[in-house]
Amino acid sequence: MGAAVIVGASHAGVQAALSLRQSGWQDEIVLFSAETDHPYHRPPLSKAFLAGEKDAGQILLRSPDLYRDQQIDLRLGEPVEAIDRAGRFVTSKSGRQPYSTLLLATGSRARRLAAPGADLDGVFTLRSLRDSRAIKDALAAAGSVVIVGGGFIGLEVASTSAKLGRKTTVLEALPTLLSRALPPAVGDFLRSYHEGKGVRFRFGAQVAGFEGEGGRLRAVRLADGSTIAADMALVGIGGEADLDLAKDLGLRLSAGGIEVDAHGRTSAEGIYAMGDVAGFQNAFAPASMRLESVQNAVDQAKAAAAHICGGDAGLTAVPWFWTDQYDLKVQMAGIGRPGAVEILRGDPSTGAFTLLQLVDGRLIAAHSVNRAADHMMARRLIAERVPIDVAAAADAATPLAKAVLAEATTSRMATAGP
């Protein structure tokens, strides 16, 4: 055999290491992390950690002792510098580390804005715990905050900023929020909710540059010539796969990531990829895509570890995501697509509703606001691809489980389960 080397120790890399052990991997496991912090949950970085509701000790993925107990050689602060595919070794500051199997879990990084002044103090992107600490400090001292990008990270930071009483403005280049990820009805609901909390929005806004004084941000200048005063700006315009190491390996790419199959296999024998860096044709997605989510990272890592240890069960999970903003719990199951039939369950003005999307009479996606039961049931119904009774599904008082067409009930009961 020989060592399993995992590059990247976030949700995907850590899960891969633990699952390899659980699946019976006997040999060395070396887990490289460029970061010096013990592996941690990323979602709280824009929410509970940023708001001061949780400290770094409360967002650890696992106990630091666990890696030792499981004989996982966690190398913190030790980025992999190069990969030699022919020689089957990686190079870090400790020298060469041979591998029999290589797992690439390098994740994604925040896209940066190519605008003048983007390097001023007070202009941030958010990806790591280190970023979040810096933003937290800046938020504490800021009067005015500008968020560039009305996506998930931007809106989560906006909600934290507004809760702290900062004057908060969100700039969005498109006419609606989250238009790539969510149907307009959900984006419009979130916009109204944020506005009710005092957040201002500028749609169709293009950032021309950041203006500073003595190296510190003072204002954000828009393409229309207007400026918005800002002590702090967060650029949340999406992520891109971190392919720095992989790009010279000759691996096939897909959807901007490393192409993998349901077992996490790349185009090269003995090399797997998982998490944000992987491009994959999920069985419930209309096309190959990179899914930047905890669920996808964990499930892809489990599937890869199982395959490495001789198992055959590939990834079949329905993708799901969530975002917390204020007291709203927004949960998304499946991958929505334009042109799907939309069914609204519940009244958005009450602050709790689910927007279902159907294709060919079957549920393909559900976007829930404060309707957790709908979300959990939708994950099952999407997985089972059962025909949906539209009238029952539109009645928020009827449990979603009862919105399955009668002739499908028998098979659903047979296949439903934990």
Residues that bind other proteins (CB under 8 A): 41, 43-44, 47-48, 54, 57-63, 65-66, 69, 294-295, 298, 322, 324, 329, 331, 370-373, 376-377, 380, 418
**Left, alpha or beta for 305 (phi > 0: left; psi -120 to 50: alpha)?**
alpha
CA 67 to the chain's CA centroid: 24
Residue number, 90 or 378, with CB nearest to other proteins: 378
In the complex, minimum distance from the CB of residue 141 to other proteins, in angstroms, rounded to a whole number? 26
The Cα 199–Cα 415 span in angstroms is 45
Output DSSP code: residue 225: S
The Cα 262–Cα 243 span in angstroms is 20
In the complex, minimum distance from the CB of residue 105 to other proteins, in angstroms, rounded to a whole number? 16
In the complex, minimum distance from the CB of residue 89 to other proteins, in angstroms, rounded to a whole number? 31
Residue number, 117 or 346, with CB nearest to other proteins: 346
Per the CB < 8 A criterion, the answer to whether 108 and 240 are in contact is yes
The Cα 127–Cα 140 span in angstroms is 19
- Residue 380 CA neighbour count, 13 Å, CB half: 17
Exposed / middle / buried, residue 28 (Cβ in 10 Å: 0-12, 13-18, 19+) = middle
In the complex, minimum distance from the CB of residue 418 to other proteins, in angstroms, rounded to a whole number? 4
The Cα 249–Cα 245 span in angstroms is 8
The one-letter amino acid code at 270 reads G
Residue number, 41 or 163, with CB nearest to other proteins: 41
Residue number, 160 or 169, with CB nearest to other proteins: 160
In the complex, minimum distance from the CB of residue 372 to other proteins, in angstroms, rounded to a whole number? 4
In the complex, minimum distance from the CB of residue 54 to other proteins, in angstroms, rounded to a whole number? 8
Residue number, 21 or 167, with CB nearest to other proteins: 21
Residue number, 57 or 95, with CB nearest to other proteins: 57
Residue number, 36 or 63, with CB nearest to other proteins: 63
Residue number, 28 or 324, with CB nearest to other proteins: 324
In the complex, minimum distance from the CB of residue 385 to other proteins, in angstroms, rounded to a whole number? 18
In the complex, minimum distance from the CB of residue 417 to other proteins, in angstroms, rounded to a whole number? 9
Per the CB < 8 A criterion, the answer to whether 157 and 147 are in contact is yes
DSSP 113-157: P-STTTTSBTEE---SHHHHHHHHHHHHH-SEEEEE--SHHHHHH
In the complex, minimum distance from the CB of residue 199 to other proteins, in angstroms, rounded to a whole number? 21
Residue 182 has φ and ψ, to the nearest 5°, of -130, 150
Residue number, 117 or 319, with CB nearest to other proteins: 319
Exposed / middle / buried, residue 119 (Cβ in 10 Å: 0-12, 13-18, 19+) = exposed
The one-letter amino acid code at 245 reads L
List CB contacts of 295: < 8 A, sequence separation 6 or more: 317, 319, 320, 321
